A and B are shown apart, each in its own frame.
Chain A
Amino acid sequence: MKKLQFSFSTKLTFDDYVHDHSFALRFTPVESPAQHITAFGAEISPFASTRNTVDAFGNTVTSGFLQKEHRFLDFEINGIAEIDISKPKTDFMPCYRYQTHFTKPDVALSEFHRFSAEKCSCSDPYGKAMFYSEKISEQIRYEKGVTTIKTTAAEAFGLKAGVCQDYAHILLSMLRMDGIPCRYAAGLACCDGETHGWVEVWDGEKWVGIDPANDRPANEDYLILSQGRDFGDCAIDRGVMFGAYTKQLQLISSKLEEIA
């Protein structure tokens, strides 16, 4: 078991005033047997009345509406989590077995999967996931700015480059081609100043974490903020607003460290 102190903040600044701004935030860490939150605080500025619901995937959704004109939206969370990956997480959904818009393979990715599956000596889901992760790392170069938040697994595979989200989508796609249920995890990881994305694979009884971008198991240095079939289900902040603004600037900072 590890005790982690976390903080995460986003500053969204607009060129001009916006109004009628609806937002949905998935920034409350998921409570599970393996992840127990002992302290949590959240702040949103400018002040907005918010409500919490829990979505189909188990994420807390904080929704709000800013009708008045404003030029920025900041939110910040902080708290303490106890991570113990020896405690099994068993919240299963059958939809995790099926491809989504983000993970649907094309011919090239299917070929790569077939090639990798033939070479894999493991038959258990976790062993396969680790093997595929290694193969993906050989193929895909970690590079920022090549892909966007809309890039699919097939597109990223074609580009042979991407970030954590793309690595995760490619691994999800490959596991689902084998009929293995798996899901996307979004959150914070040690030694990473931004948000991170990785994969959980269903081993038949419980979820096991794996981080394909770093080609390693997702151990007790990982804090899950949201989970779902793919990035689309997990977006930490989504918003719709009205106004003549031309640009928005988003600054993210996060901190995750072990405490005694």
Chain B
Amino acid sequence: MTIADTAVCRSRPVTPVADAGEINELLRRYGVKFGIYKNGQFKEQLFPFDPIPRIIPAEDFKGIEKGLIQRVDALNRFLYDIYHEKNIINDGIVPENFVYISSGYLPQCEGITPPNKIYSHISGIDLVQGKGKEWYILEDNLRIPSGASYPLIARELTRAASPAAFSGNDIIDNRNYAKLLKETMDFANRGGINAILTPGRYNAAYFEHSYLAELTGAALVQNDELFVEDNVLYQKTYSGGKTKIGALYRRISDEYLDPLTFEPTSLIGIPNLMEAYRSGNVAIINALGNGVADDKGIYYFVPKMIKYYLGEEPILKNAPTYLPFYNEDREYVLKNLEKLVIKDVAEAGGYGVVFGRDLDEKALEDFRQTIIREPRRFIAQEVIDFLDLPILENGGEVMRKADLRAFVLSGEKTKVWASGLTRFSRNPDSFVVNSSQGGGFKDTWVLSR
């Protein structure tokens, strides 16, 4: 194995830690892949690793950490409010139809209180850093955010490949993710074991499901070994008995989770799980119905939520966002479409993102008509001039757009994992960094000093 002999130091923090080819080969051997469906076919792809770490100085991280905790706490308060008193609607802060038209709002969850009132136990918050080094929130992911396993295993491998880089630098150890996740599950647990529910090996994030189960000691389960009896969730044991499950970290979307409450044709769900959940016999991680808070349209209101619920000024900024739903914003969007980025609120994974500057006159005009017809369907944002990060390509360094998915875990306290998934675009002209769009990732080092 080739090991970079240059010790990484803070004055020149962009040194590769090890040969990317070697690490990528190890990742392949470990089965670190993600699957995507393209043209109806399932394909597993490697998620290319770049050996130059992103480095976040301690001072910088402190600000991000405070801001993320504040944001996730407000989002949890919002979810409780929406499914109970709805004060934020009654007080006119969030328009009613933004909540009820959202496909993530599940009326079946009305009145259900999850353990400790925590809805989003594991939040994946996407940030970007602007040219002026300021951080912006791009998106909240409160349903089943994936990606924590990639920096975990990449760190594991680079540590083995290049121990000097870690002994010579004040890098916060990121292996505590398993501990944070276990604490989060334990705090929510209603009595019984912790389990991670996977739809199976054809899921895009199957590697992650199995890896996290192994690290946290939770059972990795599929629906055919689970059942609900007397409103308690059980796993069948090999000897014909049953084991109670007290916390279910499910990696299946809400609509497929219980065929007796949601999509009746779901073959990956657990019948009557909703009854067990409603009865308080099992914690579901993350809770059902969270989609109403990470809706791209609701994103606009998060800074207002922070003020409303916490009485605080938001520490982290949203990217400047316009809602064509409001007349004033719509006029601005229609006039400035060519310089904005438009996102379809119903899409995820980098799909449904259109940059106005990529459209010709006719396409721009068509898009304007679509926005006029369906104003609630889109949000528009100013294109942030991201800070580019160096990546290695054909032996040389090139600059590419990158974002950061930070993981925030809400148990007894809300904590931010001192690491995260830095994704970059391999295409020099693209701002879209999602793995499903062919991007790569790098390790994220948070310095302790």
**Interface residues, chain A, with chain B CB atoms under 8 Å away:** 20, 22-24, 49, 51, 53, 55-57, 61, 63, 65, 67, 93-95, 97-98, 229, 233, 238-240
Contacts and interface: CB of A to CB of B under 8 A. Distances in A.
A229 B110 CA distance: 13
Contacts of B96: 94
Given A53-B231, A65-B227, A94 B275 contact: no
A240 B271 contact: yes
**3 A-B pairs with the lowest CB-CB distances in the bound complex, closest first:** A22-B271, A56-B110, A95-B107
A229 B96 CA distance: 17
Given A56-B111, A98-B100, A240 B260 contact: yes
A65 B108 contact: no
Residue of A23, A49, A55, A97 most packed against chain B (CB within 10 A): A55
Given A49-B230, A53-B279, A238 B107 contact: no
Contacts of B86: 94
Interface string B264-287: 100000011001001100000000
B228 interface: yes
19 contacts: A22-B260, A22-B272, A24-B271, A24-B275, A51-B279, A53-B231, A55-B278, A56-B107, A56-B108, A56-B109, A56-B112, A63-B272, A65-B228, A65-B272, A93-B110, A95-B100, A238-B259, A239-B260, A240-B271
Interface of B: 86, 89, 96-97, 99-101, 105, 107-112, 227-231, 259-261, 264, 271-272, 275, 278-279
Contacts of B100: 94-95, 97-98
Nearest to A50: B230
Nearest to B271: A22
Contacts of B229: 49, 65, 67
Nearest to A241: B271
B291 to A, nearest CB: 14
Contact of A24 (B97, B112, B260): B260
A173 to B, nearest CB: 15
Contacts of B89: 94
Contacts of A56: 107-112
A61 B110 contact: no
A7 B286 CA distance: 41
A98 B101 contact: yes
Contacts of B261: 24
A171 to B, nearest CB: 20
A63 B107 contact: no
A98 B97 CA distance: 8
A65 B264 CA distance: 17
A51 B271 contact: no
A242 to B, nearest CB: 9
A123 to B, nearest CB: 22
Contacts of B264: 238
A52 to B, nearest CB: 9
Nearest to B108: A56
B245 to A, nearest CB: 15
Contacts of B278: 53, 55
Contacts of B111: 56
A47 to B, nearest CB: 14
A239 B258 CA distance: 11
A238 B260 CA distance: 6
